[in-house]
Structure 1
């Protein structure tokens, strides 16, 4: 089909810049030298003054304290459910647990998100980003009920999930299929590996991925290979349908699953359901306990 003119990406670069600025401001308010009580060690990189990091035993990601993240709007189940602070589903997307977390997300945004925006525009990418982050927050709230979590990883994984479903739906128009698959796997492995550290939420990653995967079937399917706009079609040329039947089927199924998933998820969250009661090992997916840091299950 005829290639569309690439969009000029501005939304995701702006989000990346905003995340960096917010992290700097959060570290400024954290002020480890003043607020650290010393029970878990000394501040890291004290030469940075109030921008120095919490002791690695408390936060191995080189970032602020849990208390600071909470003040800035981190996701915390008790405050969402009992404190009626549903806005934390959104604010947590703009926060990061530390430099390692921030750099991993920025790297992924550059290699995944900006390409998405170039191809599909800021509206569709923005919708996927926000809804995936929200979907990740819902799954997180069902499993992470005693910890404070932050990060745009759920939204980022939503973009990865959307990219995967878009790849499956539009398989016939891709040239470098192996390269695309390797890129997907590399980004997913990197972010899941970072996700086993404290304050990073792999449940949000998983929830965001599946939300984005379904949204990709709805928002990112493209005309099949060989389709030509009617005004450009040569006389007597065979008429090729713009979309294949399976693309419509996937779209309808995805919409239904999204409606059911969001509805049931929110209902369970505000009823106080705890997913760990039905999965005794699931908490290990989001934090690997070591002698260097606690997980706070």
Structure 2
């Protein structure tokens, strides 16, 4: 009969069970440091202060007419009958880069599509937009980084400016201007909605997130129907941001594990980083964005040519 090897009794074997397989935990996504959105915030504040300095209400009007002139001096506000939002005059905003159809199309000042996003009609207008910027923009920049959010902000604002100037073209009031970061901010809201839809599988409380987001969007759009508010910029920015979100904010879905994160001796079923419907949304959104921007620009500048030939 064979002998057992030394030091291998059944009691000793039960005392030391085989080690369990190593557990794998996917690494958590690191958040970006938000610096671009605060920089945009400071740029808007600085531009408003400079616009009030350049406005110099007492230098053009009587001190008794300007609001709070005894405390603010040349930074005092225009009269309520001229600007109820506590801000500068239309003349000052036009000089600094407000959106106006005759200047953009007639004088070829296309830079006003972007400069108007950093101007505000008054303190009330500025505070409303800046609170929204910090509340929405900082969160998005932490998740997606400054490059994506910067592109989203600029192109959404450009979309809002395009639809706004088309609305100004058909306005019965002459020399109407448009200012504010509302188009870009509504673009961030639209991108949040499309990001929720294209990354639907990675959210836990899907219905709650969708309901709360739709409620916020509805309330903000309802503000656009107040007097002296350019809702066309809101709608244009929202639509541009909504389709840009499918392109810029697409994220890999759960189920994909990179091999370099797997422990030795383990394997995982490899799936595609992105799902088919994400690619479908991306392609459709790119087509819609290109057609939309091209149509608005053609309507704006080809309409100018038709007016020239009509004379």
State yes or no: 1:97 paired with 2:97: no
Q: Distance in 1 between matches of 2:98 and 2:127?
A: 19
Deviations 1:88-137 (A, max 9, x none): 10110110111111111111111101111001011111111111111111
Counterpart for residue 17 of structure 1 = 42
RMSD: 2.1
Asked if 1:269 is matched to 2:279, the reply is no
Q: Structure 1 residues 43 and 257 mapped into 2: Cα distance closer, same or farther (>3 Å)? A: same
CA distance in 1, matches of 2:94, 2:65: 21
> Counterpart in 1 of 2:130?
106
Q: Is there any run of 5+ residues in structure 2 with no aligned partner, and where?
A: 1-25, 305-311
Q: From 51, 59, 74, give the equivalent of 1:34.
A: 59
Alpha-carbon separation, structure 2, partners of 1:181 and 1:3? 27
Q: Counterpart of 1:271 in 2: which secondary structure?
A: helix
Deviation at 1:236, TM superposition (A): 4.2
CA contact (8 A) 1:108 1:187 kept: no
Residue equivalent to 2:309: none
Q: How many residues align?
A: 270
- For the 8 Å contact 2:224–2:230, the answer to whether it is kept is no
Equivalent pair of 2:155/2:240 in contact (CA under 8 Å): yes
Tell me the TM-score normalized by structure 2: 0.81
Secondary structure of the structure 2 residue equivalent to 1:42: coil
Pair 1:72–1:219, CA change in 2 (3 A): same
Classify 1:160/1:149 alpha carbon distance in 2 versus 1 (closer, same or farther; 3 Å).
same
**In 2: Cα distance, 1:57 partner to 1:172 partner:** 52
Greater RCO structure (CA 8 Å; 6+ sep): 1
Separation of aligned partners in 1, 2:27 and 2:231? 39
**1:116 equivalenced with 2:140 (yes/no):** yes
Corresponding residue of 1:238: 269
> What SS does structure 1 have at the residue aligned with 2:190?
helix
Rg comparison, structure with higher value: 2
| TM norm structure 1 | 0.84
1:186 pairs with 210, 216, 223, which one?
216
**Partner-residue secondary structure (3-state), 1:50:** helix
Structure 1 residue aligned with 2:198: 169
1:242-253 correspondence to structure 2 within 5 Å? 242-253=273-284
What does 1:211-222 align with in structure 2 at a 5 Å threshold? Answer: 211-222=240-251
Q: 1:230 to 1:175 in 2, by over 3 A?
A: same
Q: How does 1:38-187 map to 2 (within 5 A)?
A: 42-46=65-69, 47-145=71-169, 146=174, 147-177=176-206, 178-179=208-209, 181-183=211-213, 185-186=215-216
Query: Mean alpha-carbon deviation: is it higher for 240-249 or for 182-191?
Result: 182-191
